[in-house]
Amino acid sequence: MKKVMFLLAVAGMFAFASCNNAATEAPVEEAPATEEVAVVEETAAVEADTTAVVEEVAATEEAAQ
């Protein structure tokens, strides 16, 4: 009977030892920081450039005729 109780006590110790300590917290993985870049809209400059190009093309076509 002593051997059975000893085996149960040893099995109980293994059971408690395998449960880990819940008081310790697992390390938290942080997401990598992302840089935010301001988007600059240059639509006015692009429209002005295309208008200038169209006028230049029209002027060269008129001069060529």
- Residue 9: which H helix or E strand, with range? helix 2-17
Place of tokens 């697992």: 26
The Cα–Cα gap between 17 and 10 comes to 10
Percent of the residues in the chain that have a pLDDT greater than 70, as a whole number = 68
Of 6-15, 27-36, 45-54, which range is least confident? 45-54
Alpha-carbon distance 12 to 14, whole Å?
5
pTM of the model: 0.31
Among 59, 56, 39, smallest CA distance to 48 is for 56
Dmax over Cα atoms in the chain, in whole Å? 118
Q: Does 44 score more than 60 pLDDT?
A: no
